[in-house]
């Protein structure tokens, strides 16, 4: 039975990459969903007897689990409503290109003929096309993907990139994430979009040795943190026969990532820039 009210926890931070680092620890602490809104993370938790103490302890736990020090936590009470409806507010259809639209399942969207529609419910996972890095990777995907190609999606989150690839004509997509909740959401979204036969979702930690074991792909999607991307570039160069799309990179980090990729034989084909975020389409030499 749902409680009469919920503890609303708001987390503010200065580090642009902090959001990605904080979601998993929040889920581990009992959050049933995390929303990024106006530069903050918002989550709803069952009520506790001593909220001030709980928030202080949560702040310490988040710092230790994520390594992010510049956190500011605030809390308030929210009278009971379905928390799933609360975090859905503000999410709506996103026109990625003239021929690609991403929409939550609870929204009605009218599109012209020939438009590819991807329906995504993120659940506890990252990926709704509300974030600039996701939109950037999607725009580059529409330009790089050739029908029938085999694609790997590293850090698939909600499955948005993998599903878009399948809907745009990929022959098969292998989508992996280390978060089991993300994989559950991705599987449901693949079924929702009727591409479960094309998109295989597995829980996996992507390392250089793991990539070696998977063979090669026509293209790789990796919209994850720069600190994770860069050490994998060498293995990506061996695992792709065609293209590599990188996302989750800030404007400040971008020159470094390009240098590292080009040193390994990648050729930059296109850049997508939105706000402070950069995504890149690279081809193997």
Provide the pLDDT confidence category of residue 106 given band limits of 50, 70 and 90: confident
Segment 134-140 shows an average pLDDT of 96
- What's the pLDDT at 1? 58
- What's the pLDDT at 2? 59
* DSSP letter for each residue of the chain: ---SEEEEEEEEES-TTHHHHHHHHHHHTT-S-EEEETTEEEEEE---S-HHHHHHHHHHHHHHHH----EEEEEEEEE---HHHHHHTT---EEEETTEEEE-TTS-----TT-EEEE---TTSS-SS-SHHHHHHHHHHHHH--TT-EEEEES-TTSHHHHHHHHTT-SEEEEEES-HHHHHHHHHHHHHTT-TTTEEEEE----HHHHHHT--EEEEEEES-HHHHHHHHHHHHHHEEEEEEEEEEETTTHHHHHHHHHHTTEEEEEEEEETTEEEEEEEE-
260 or 67, greater pLDDT: 260
The segment(s) of the chain belonging to CATH 3.40.50.150 are 124-284
Segment 214-224 shows an average pLDDT of 96
Distance in angstroms between the alpha carbons of the first and the last residue of the chain: 58
CATH of domain 5-88: 3.30.70.270
- 210 pLDDT higher than 70: yes
- 128 pLDDT higher than 80: no
The mean-pLDDT minimum among 31-45, 148-162, 228-242 falls in 31-45
The segment(s) of the chain belonging to CATH 3.30.70.270 are 5-88
235 or 93, greater pLDDT: 235
- What's the pLDDT at 35? 72
Homologous superfamily assigned to 124-284: Vaccinia Virus protein VP39 (3.40.50.150)
- 111 pLDDT higher than 70: yes
- 231 pLDDT higher than 90: yes
Yes or no: say if 77 and 60 are a contact pair by the CB < 8 Å rule: no
Yes or no: say if 129 and 160 are a contact pair by the CB < 8 Å rule: yes
Per residue in 28-74, pLDDT (tens digit) is: 777 766 777 777 888 878 888 999 999 999 999 898 888 888 889 99
- What's the pLDDT at 24? 74
In whole angstroms, give the CA distance from residue 270 to residue 148.
22
- 166 pLDDT higher than 60: yes
- 17 pLDDT higher than 70: no
């Amino acid at each position: 039975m749902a409680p009469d009210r919920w503890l609303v926890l708001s987390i503010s931070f200065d580090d642009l990459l902090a959001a990605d680092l904080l979601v998993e620890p929040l889920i581990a602490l009992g959050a049933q969903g995390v929303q990024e809104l106006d530069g903050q993370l918002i989550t709803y938790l069952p009520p506790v007897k001593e909220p001030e103490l709980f928030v202080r302890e949560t702040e310490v736990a988040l710092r230790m689990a994520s390594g992010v020090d510049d956190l500011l936590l605030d809390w308030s009470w929210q009278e009971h409503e379905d928390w799933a409806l609360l975090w859905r507010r503000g999410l709506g259809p996103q026109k990625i290109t003239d021929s690609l639209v991403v929409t939550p399942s609870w929204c009605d969207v009218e599109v012209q003929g020939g438009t590819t529609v991807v329906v995504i419910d993120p659940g506890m996972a990252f990926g709704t096309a509300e974030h600039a890095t996701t939109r950037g990777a999607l725009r580059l995907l529409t330009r790089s993907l050739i029908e029938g190609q085999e694609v790997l999606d590293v850090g698939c989150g909600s499955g948005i990139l993998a599903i878009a690839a399948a809907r745009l004509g990929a022959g098969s997509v292998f989508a992996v994430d280390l978060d089991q909740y993300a994989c559950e959401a991705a599987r449901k979204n693949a079924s929702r979009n009727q591409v479960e036969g094309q998109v295989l979702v597995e829980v996996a930690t992507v390392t250089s040795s793991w990539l070696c074991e998977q063979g090669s792909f026509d293209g790789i999607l990796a919209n994850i943190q720069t600190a994770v991307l860069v050490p994998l570039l060498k293995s990506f160069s061996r695992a792709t026969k065609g293209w590599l799309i990188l996302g989750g990179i800030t404007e400040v980090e971008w020159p470094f990532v390009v240098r590292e990729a080009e040193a390994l034989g990648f050729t930059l084909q296109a850049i997508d820039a939105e706000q402070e975020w950069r995504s890149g389409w690279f081809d193997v030499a």
